[in-house]
Amino acid sequence: MSKILDKKIVGLLMLVLVMVIAVTGCSNSSEEEVIARVGEVTITKGEFYDELVKYSGSQVLDALVADKIMELEAEKLNVSVSEEKIEEGIEEMRDYYGSEEALNNELDSRGLTLDDIRNNLRSNYLIEALLEPYLNITEDDMKEYFEKNKKSFDQEEQVKASHILVETEEEALDIKKKLDEGEDFAELAKEYSTDKSSGALGGSLGTFNRERMVKEFSDAAFSLPVGEISDPVKSEYGYHIILVEEKIEAKEATYEEFKDNVNDRLKQERFYDAYAEWYQEKIEEYDIISYLK
């Protein structure tokens, strides 16, 4: 997953959270409804809404106004987003977090649902379509950007691997013995690994480059042949048993291969200036009155 996509997904989650809070705060339920308790002291929905307005009201209102303008413009220009494109966006997020379960856990921790994400992906794709005429990206722009940033497109050497992490060398040797006797790696990872997130996935760490892991781990993983299991490897986290599943060689990027990625990056970089220009034009076209106090 690229850093661009990383920022895009995190940014999307934060935007969804703000919008959900805004809608919740503006709902018709009683302002005296208790939403939290600290000892014997309660916090009401009215208090929460007042603080939301005080600290974030104008930003949230601006976001809601922009959302309504976008809906009106999309309707006027007959711009729509297919369900297939939204599901592709959801799939990108599943890939980023590693599994459906991991994505759901992340959403739960933020008080969000997949429907919240779908609604905001729809908004994101609509605004991207509406801003297309304002981005002005030419073939020459793309080629120049690629040449200046070529190294960032080059594919690094990578490894796909799983591990079992335990606290002591004795435990690691015992697990290695079980593996040598034919026991299943994934099942042992689920049972013994102290890395609970990867353990739940049978020890899977996905695909990574050398810099992502601590040196001792990377040195071992990148030196192992595919399909082999390491002896115990000591790091600051404990003792690892590593299974290498695939190796991906380093590869120099070509413009034709990464043309779409270059276009995406340029769109990302020019998005905010284009949005500011578009939004300024639209707020001058529409009659906008704020009653926020």
The domain spans of the chain are 3-147+254-285, 155-248
CA gap 291, 78 in Å, rounded: 30
Is domain 155-248 given the CATH code 3.10.50.40 in the classification? yes
Reply yes or no on whether the pLDDT at 4 is more than 80.
no
pLDDT at 15: 53
pLDDT-derived band of residue 293, with 50, 70 and 90 as boundaries? low
Containing 235, the helix (H) or strand (E) segment is strand 233-235
pTM, 2 dp: 0.54
- CATH numeric code, 3-147+254-285: 1.10.4030
Which has more confidence, 193 or 109?
A: 193
Identity (one letter) of the amino acid at 226? V
pLDDT-derived band of residue 30, with 50, 70 and 90 as boundaries? low
Find the DSSP H helices in the chain: 3-25, 45-77, 83-97, 100-109, 114-135, 139-148, 150-153, 169-180, 185-192, 196-199, 215-223, 255-285
The packing angle between helices 169-180 and 185-192, to 10°, is 150
Average pLDDT, the chain: 87
